[in-house]
Structure 1
Amino acid sequence: MPRFDLLVRWLDVLCGVVLRVGEIRRNRNMLRVTHSEGRVSIRAGAGPDASLVAAVTVGHRPPDEVLRRATDGFLVLEWPHDKTITRTLGLPAQARDFLAGVIANQLDRLSPWPLGQILYGHAATPLADASRLAVRVLIVRRADVDAVRAELAEMGLNVDRVESAPHAGEEPVAFWSNGASQGDASARRRLRLFIGGGVAAYVAVCMPIVVAGSVVTNALQEETESLTAHTHALQERADAAKNPSAIQALPPPERAWIWKEASTPVVALVDALSRAIPDDAYLESLSVEGGKLRISGLAADAPPLIDALEKTGRFFDAHFSAPTTRASDGRLFRFGIEANLAAGATKKGK
């Protein structure tokens, strides 16, 4: 419940800001109207020397340009002094903060009409004695004001405020304002509902986007984690392929998979052997099994074959698998050599 009250107050603040901005914008294009002796005069501006823009007979519509300015701007009706009752009160300066209540308590005595039939306003002026205030209370008949407003409305002029006409340098006093009417309260409620509906619609539009973004983000995160795990596994396999002892320690399925990935094509091995074996040596057998190369044959000088194999970069830990013996011709030596296949030898060969 407190959160709901906070939301209502927040919407009220937004409504106030919107209405205030609208009022400021309209005040920049203020029109002042006077209604006297069947004539309506319209002046532009707030000062007493405001220029006359139109003067028409009651019941006739003003020019379209004036009506447009009245619709977009702020229309003030100046109420004449001859239809206004003025009362002056002398009050202590301390009563300034309570003037509205003090005047409301004395309206029965000040007004010649019943309270339900009047509109009133007041203005306080400090006297020479700073401890006293001179308070002017201006009272008009509500029926008279409503009648003039209705006539102006029929002419296309909707009054926003009714105030006293300037007189002898005195500040105008407001009797009625559209912003203080009951209709404005309902307008504020409608505006609050409109703003609340707009905010709710915005949230409703953004929510699927946020949810979709969250789903996509989670999917991307899961995909990233999967790729990271896969990359880590491949890196472990690559590191294991470089260490034969690590390969032997792996379970048979993983060991077979690593050997499959790291094995060198036989064509590449034959090419490496053809380059390493000198012209005076001959191979009688060649086998590759379990990551090992086994060769046997005849050579004029067998020991240099070990170094020649390891220099290819495709074999390491090369050694004789059996003692070398002289062949029957007495010129060549029979040899048997084993060597481990180097991991990634195919990449290096490329």
Structure 2
Amino acid sequence: AVLRRPLRLPAAAAPRVRDVVGFEIDRQTPFEQAQVHYDVREGEPLADGQLQVELVVIPRQAMEQWLQQSGSWAGLLAGVDADDGNGQPLGVNLLPASQRHVARDPMRRWNLLLGCATVLLLALAGTQLLANRENAADQLRDQVNAAARDARAVAAERQQLQQLVDGAAFLEEKRSAQPSTLEVWNELTRLLPDGTYLEKLSVEGRTLQLIGLSREASQLVPLLQASPLWTKVNLTGVLQADGGAGGRDRFTLTAELQPLPGATPAPPAATPATEVADGNAADAP
């Protein structure tokens, strides 16, 4: 049998209603709090805001006797309720919290294992995803470096081609600026009289120098002056007799070479556009 007492409490007692009701046991019942097991049945709040509760107590001795009569079932009980007199439970738990049996979920261990496996699989998937992204970044970096190397090779070949073009243009300009050595030689062969021998023929820049022997050394200047390939023909120094039986004089002549008739100097080479190819990858993703 249990003892029931209806109580009214202020609304401020709502957070600690069970503790507040516990202090009322010795006033509402013939027992002290240490002599009973109790629980609180909460009802609907009243219109004035007060709490309507019901104190339900059972003597400890009666509870212990009932548990002893239950035998081995006593250790498996999660709670003890009381009858409201109409065959319906009151909805309270008079069994002390220390004696309540906590039913374990049989699937709890499997659920824990599944949870751990799920976390492990997610970690492995994240690691694999990170590794895939790093591999993709490495492949992209290799492609960029290969493209940069190709670009540098193309730029180097273009630079070499431009240098060849510039060299050809320079040679063409030089060729147009003055007659070639072969042309000078042919012109000298045509103009120099018989009995004239050359010991040295040199071209330094636009200066032509002739050293040789001739029976008509004094007539060489007007003979050579008639050529369109050079101007300013002059004897350098004095004529020196060879002293041989041929009657030749040693001479030294200089002249200034002129551009070929009708020759047009080559246009200056165009400055190549600067191309830059950089293959540094640290600066993916």
**Normalization by structure 2: what TM-score?**
0.39
Which structure: greater strand fraction?
1
Which structure: greater helix fraction?
1
Q: Which has the higher contact order (CA 8 A, sep 6+)?
A: 2
Q: Indicate the structure (1 or 2) with the bigger Cα radius of gyration.
A: 2
